[in-house]
Amino acid sequence: MGVFISAILLLPGISLGHEAAERYHQAQSAAKAQQWPQAEDFLKQALQHFPNYAEAHHLLGLIQFEVTHDPASAIPSLQQAITLAPHLVQAQYDLALMYLRQQKMEEAQPLLKKALEEYPTFWKAALALAQTFEQQGQIPQALEQYDSVLIQAPDQPEALYAVSYLNFKDGQWEEAHQSLTRLVKAHTQHSEGWLLLGRVEEMRNQPTQAIQAYETAVTLQPASPQAHHSLAFLYQQQGEVSKAIEHFEAVTQRKPNDFEAFMNLGVLLSTVNDTAKAKEAYLHALAINKASPELQYNLGNFFEFHEVDLDRAKQHYRRYIELGGTDPRVQRLLEQLGPDLQPEN
């Protein structure tokens, strides 16, 4: 949180030549230069000259937070500012932010509501209030406040993303699509927006658009495994094996314990007859999760057809059956091969 959220006005009736006002101006200049101790000293001098200087108490609270990074250090000064000037909307908002940093939503909400009563178009207060409602699970109230933010600030990214996400969770794909399209048009570097847009496009059965959104998310945030994971599955579904392999490999590099990525990588590498890498991927998946019937089946298939090692194939097929697998071909094969080998765990 920055100190200068908005212009902090001098208390009416104080002459600009007044000693308190001069010290207040000096504090503002020092704060702009991030000279926090000097700013704090100037404000304390201002308050010695005029103890009821509400704006000085307000700014002092903000600077105390910048110095300590502890909301508790700022709260008394902000409370004093509001006591002296009950209609000081910015102080109400800043005090609410301090409470939110302490996860005290019940203390923050009345302050935000009061700020909005005083200043209905104060969209930052509406945004903070919406976020508290969302955290409390009061989704209709949250959406109402997010909508009010977007009336005042149509391209506000946090509100656009929140509305999109809430609509996505509620299965409102078209509404989510509309707000996400607005978001990424206004904020082209919003990687989370592109990622969510990809998910929405998948739900709308638009795989081409989903791939485009995920590719943009990967470009913006290459280290994130989520978009790589989604791209890998989409490319796999569309039969673009080399691209699917590329993105599953990217997932395994970023999430070395991602079971699904390793298992699918094994499947895909097998289809292009890269048996060495396929075996490595399968065995890595097995080290992560031995209790997957799908993996045990795939390993049995791999050893049966790619390495032509029926003993090892039988071990994994038996484990597949033990885990609940019911493939008739596998059952017949095991009957033919006999019960001589015990399954590996």
Give residue-wise pLDDT tens across range 40-54.
Answer: 999 999 999 999 999
**pLDDT of 338:** 83
What's the DSSP call for residue 181?
Answer: H
Distance of CA 212 to the CA centre of its chain: 20
**pLDDT of 29:** 96
| Number of separate helices (H) and strands (E) present in the chain | 19, 0
**pLDDT of 8:** 42
Q: Take residue 146 and report the two structure tokens written for it.
A: 């997010």
Instruction: Let me know: does 295 contact 268? Beta carbons within 8 Å.
Output: no
Rounded CA-CA distance 204/162 in Å is 19
Rounded CA-CA distance 285/58 in Å is 57
Domain boundaries along the sequence of the chain? 1-99+109-118
**pLDDT of 12:** 42
Decide if domain 1-99+109-118 falls under CATH 3.30.465.10: no
Q: Take residue 253 and report the two structure tokens written for it.
A: 């590099």
Rounded CA-CA distance 76/7 in Å is 21
Nearest alpha-carbon partner for 75 in 40, 99, 52: 99
Handedness of CA 10, 16, 18, 19 (dihedral sign): positive
**pLDDT of 18:** 85
b/e 199-214 (16+ beta carbons within 10 angstroms → b): bbbbeeebeebbbebb
Phi-psi region of 171 (alpha: psi -120 to 50; beta: other; left: phi over 0): left
274 Cβ contact partners less than 8 Å away, ≥ 6 residues apart: none
pLDDT < 50 positions in the chain: 1-13, 16-17, 341-345
Instruction: Let me know: does 344 contact 319? Beta carbons within 8 Å.
Output: yes
251 Cβ contact partners less than 8 Å away, ≥ 6 residues apart: 225, 228, 229, 232, 258, 261
**pLDDT of 340:** 56
**pLDDT of 87:** 95
